[in-house]
């Protein structure tokens, strides 16, 4: 085994998990991670009074860390890998910008008095990032050897 790369056979186990199973596990993991992300985001925004982008950034980091750790082992059955970790960091940096940007656009687009302003902006941003994350993780990152 090369330092930072998955042991032989681990990728084969991941390939044996079907698309439907991976998708169901990814969505379940995403739901849990979204609770972490949105819960922290809302708490920091509403209760702590942090600026919207800072609150969203902290929530995103907590949620995506949760998602990566669970998806790596449960959804994609992948061993730790330096190359994979670097690829995930790059992917999450891109989806961070996409998600925070989309959240900001919709947060600003809705009137302040609307009770659903924060959750709707969050769902639109999170949905976009989720699709990007699943496709890139399934087709690229968790195939890295």
* pLDDT tens track for 42-77: 999 999 999 998 998 899 889 988 988 898 889 988
Give the Cα separation of 111 and 118 in Å (integer). Answer: 10
Q: Could you give the C-alpha distances from 139 to 23, 94, 106, in angstroms and in order? A: 12, 16, 29
Give the Cα separation of 26 and 50 in Å (integer). Answer: 30
In this prediction, residue 124 carries a pLDDT of 96
Residue 12 — very low, low, confident or very high, per pLDDT cuts 50/70/90?
very low
The answer to whether 127 and 102 are in contact (CB under 8 A) is no
Average pLDDT of every residue of the chain: 85
Per residue in 79-88, pLDDT (tens digit) is 888 888 889 8
Give the Cα separation of 80 and 84 in Å (integer). Answer: 8
Give the Cα separation of 112 and 125 in Å (integer). Answer: 18
Residue 3, both tokens: 């330092």
Give the Cα separation of 115 and 82 in Å (integer). Answer: 43
Task: Write down the pTM of the prediction.
Answer: 0.67
Helix (H, G, I), strand (E, B) or coil at 110: coil
Percentage of the chain modeled with pLDDT above 90: 48
pLDDT value at 105 more than 80? yes
Nearest residue to 98 (alpha-carbon basis) of 66, 131, 72, 58: 131
């Amino acid at each position: 085994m090369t330092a930072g790369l998955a042991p032989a056979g681990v990728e084969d186990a991941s390939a044996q998990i079907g698309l439907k199973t991976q998708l169901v596990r990814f969505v379940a993991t995403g739901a849990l991670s979204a609770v972490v992300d949105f819960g922290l985001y809302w708490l920091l925004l509403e209760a702590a009074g942090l600026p919207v982008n800072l609150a969203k950034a902290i929530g995103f980091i907590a949620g995506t860390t949760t998602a990566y750790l669970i998806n790596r082992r449960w959804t994609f059955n992948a061993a730790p890998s330096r190359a994979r970790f670097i690829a995930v960091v790059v992917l999450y940096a891109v989806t961070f910008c996409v998600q925070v940007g989309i959240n900001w656009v919709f947060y600003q687009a809705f009137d302040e008095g609307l009770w659903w302003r924060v959750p709707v902006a969050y769902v639109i941003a999170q949905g976009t990032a989720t699709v990007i994350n699943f496709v890139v993780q399934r087709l690229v990152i968790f195939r890295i050897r």
